[in-house]
Structure 1
Amino acid sequence: MPEEAVAEPPRTIEDLRALALSVGRDEAGFSLGSKAHDVFAKLVEAPEQSAVRTISELADQFGINPSTLTRLAKRLGFEGFSDFQAVFRKAIADDQQYFYSRQAGRLMTTPSAGGAEVEVFERLARETAANVDGFLGQLDSASLKGAVALLAEARRVRVHGVRQFHSLASFLTYCLGMVRSDVALLDAPRLGVAEALSQLEPGDVVITASCAPYT
């Protein structure tokens, strides 16, 4: 006899996290296999990756078959994996302004006993590793070669990144300047981005560094 699914599936990341915790404590009113629960927990720990990666990419990351993710989604009450993934995508699209407070809240609410401090770093390390895996999974050889050709052949290169990405922009400017000439930050003279852009010509290259939800 098939197991019953959740009557009303969670529709927020917070509710998904709460459900994952309840399942782990056997308080959810239904059970998941240990592997399915482990995958469920990892999905809610890294919502940004869960939102953007395909079902095949996620399955490869967890070492499972894509059908396992489909069954998990239906077991949680969703129509399918796309319906399940929509919760992550909506959270990322609608709640970017709460990104920092949400991350800080996850750290602040972690219990202080039982080595939880180490668990925080382990979780952050897993999320970072997932981000790196996602980056590698999206690399395209032709696009990479095309970008390299542009950087090598352009008359001049300007690099732009603000706030968290300013250090990356500065470092990239320094490194490119070691192998070619006429590389600088876009707004190095502090005259404004619009003024700096107006001085560029066709064939020049601008590199902009950022990612959601940062500036």
Structure 2
Amino acid sequence: MRRLVEQERSARGRDRMGERTLAVLVDMLARPGSAAVQSISELAAHNGVDASTLTRLGKRLGFDGFTPLQDVFRRHVSDTQPFYSAHVNELVTRQDKGAADTLQHLAQSECQKVLAVAGTLNQETLDRAVSMLVEARHVHVLALRGTYALSHFFGTFLSTMRASVTILGGPAFQLAEDLARIQPGDLLVAMTYRPYTREVVKAVNLAKAEGIPVLSLTDAGSAIEVSGAAGTTIVVDQPYYFDSMLPHYFAAEALLMAVLRKLGPKALQTTRRREAFVKAMEVEIK
């Protein structure tokens, strides 16, 4: 890409890349960590251009749009820089705008990412995912490390709507035993985002080898992306880190809402039965 920048700078005529578009590319090459993790809106604001400029840049470079171009930077950062320290460094080195401005920026950034995900969720894919979640004999939900909270959220609320839901990846490294309990007719829901957790990738590969369908929640081009007879994938192509988690929870919420609508009165029966046990155990304090 650096050679391309030099070529564009020396080019003449109508086919030459616009100055502002070229400036965006130069900035991305100078700050690959930021280019890998910031949203299209954040990168556009940093460069003083519209988000459409980044979309045009991606297409100019032969991609379908901005997301595939950003994926090149993500892979580069993943291969050359530790993901977490690169991301933290980006947050630390941002210009300090004060606490109030920082909170406002975070809120706006997360809202933009949620809207971006809402616009990319495919209804046909969602419908298939919902059918898999409703029809499976038993649903096993797996995520580890930072995404374990997401799997616990999803599995906990799914279990209020339907029976036979298990959250995998508990203490004592029992994952192999957990996977061995998955039977034909079951469903494995797997979650991991770049940089991927090796155990989750292995679990998905084992499930596929055993003929167990997989519903994966991950990013584009992921190591656990599945299709066809192997299952389906809900893509949330946003970095997963503490300052960028709402889009992933939004996708999980959208799935749960769709499952609830699909189950209808059956979900209500399951919820009431669960409430009865909670009341009998005096779990909640009012």
Matched ranges for 1:64-213 at <5 A: 70=56, 73=57, 80-82=60-62, 85=66, 88-96=70-78, 97-112=81-96, 115-188=97-170, 190=172, 192-213=174-195
2:42 corresponds to 1:42: yes
Unpaired runs of 5+ residues, structure 2, are: 1-12, 33-39, 198-286
| Residue 129 of structure 1: how far off its partner (Å) | 2.4
Give yes or no for contact 2:144–2:169 (8 Å, CA) kept in 1.
no
Distance 2:117 2:61 in 1: 22
Q: Distance between the aligned counterparts of 2:45 and 2:85, measured in 1?
A: 16
Provide, for residues 59-91 of structure 1, a one-character-per-residue CA deviation record: whole Å limited to 9, x for no partner.
Answer: 8xx5x5x7x953xx4xxxx99254795763322
Task: Specify whether residues 198 and 119 from structure 1 end up closer, same or farther in structure 2 by C-alpha distance, changes over 3 A only.
Answer: same
CA shift for structure 1 position 190: 4.2
> Does the 8 A contact of 1:45 with 1:123 survive in 2?
no
- C-alpha distance after superposition, 1:16-71 (max 9, x if no partner): 68xxxxxxxxxxxxxxxxxxxxxx8733679xxxxxxxxxxxx8xx5x5x7x953x
Give the Å deviation of 1:11. Answer: 5.8
Contact 2:138 2:165 in 1 (8 A): yes
Following superposition, the deviation at residue 119 of structure 1 comes to 3.6
Paired-residue identity, %: 23
Structure-2-length-normalised TM-score: 0.47
Inter-partner Cα distance in structure 1 for 2:171 and 2:41: 48
CA distance in 2 between counterparts of 1:173 and 1:87 reads: 33
User: Is the 1:160–1:208 Cα contact (8 Å) retained in structure 2?
Assistant: yes
* Inter-partner Cα distance in structure 2 for 1:192 and 1:201: 17
How many residue pairs end up in the alignment? Answer: 168
- CA distance in structure 1 between the partners assigned to 2:59 and 2:147 by the alignment: 39
| Gap change, CA 1:5 and 1:147, over 3 Å in 2 | closer
User: Equivalent residue of 1:184, what SS?
Assistant: strand
Q: Which moved more, 1:163-172 or 1:102-111?
A: 102-111
The Cα of 1:117 is off from its aligned counterpart by: 3.5
SS at match of 1:95: helix
Tell me what 1:13 maps to.
28
1:159 & 1:4 partners in 2: Cα distance?
47
Structure 1 length normalisation: TM-score? 0.60
**Structure 2: distance between partners of 1:95 and 1:149:** 37
CA 1:210–1:134 in 2, change beyond 3 Å: closer, same or farther?
Answer: farther
1:107-135 deviation per Cα after TM superposition (whole angstroms, max 9, x unaligned): 322344xx444343333333322321232
Structure 1 pair 12–130 and aligned structure 2 pair: CA distance change class (3 A):
same
Q: 1:150 deviation in Å?
A: 1.4
Residue in structure 1 matched with residue 238 of structure 2 by the alignment: none
Question: What is the CA–CA distance in structure 1 between the aligned matches of 2:82 and 2:100, rounded to whole Å?
Answer: 25
In the aligned structure 1, how far is the partner of 2:123 from the partner of 2:72? 31
Partner of residue 22, structure 1:
none
* SS state at 2:94 partner: coil
* Distance in 2 (alpha carbons) for counterparts of 1:151 and 1:79: 37
On the 8 A contact 1:176/1:183 being kept in 2, the answer is yes
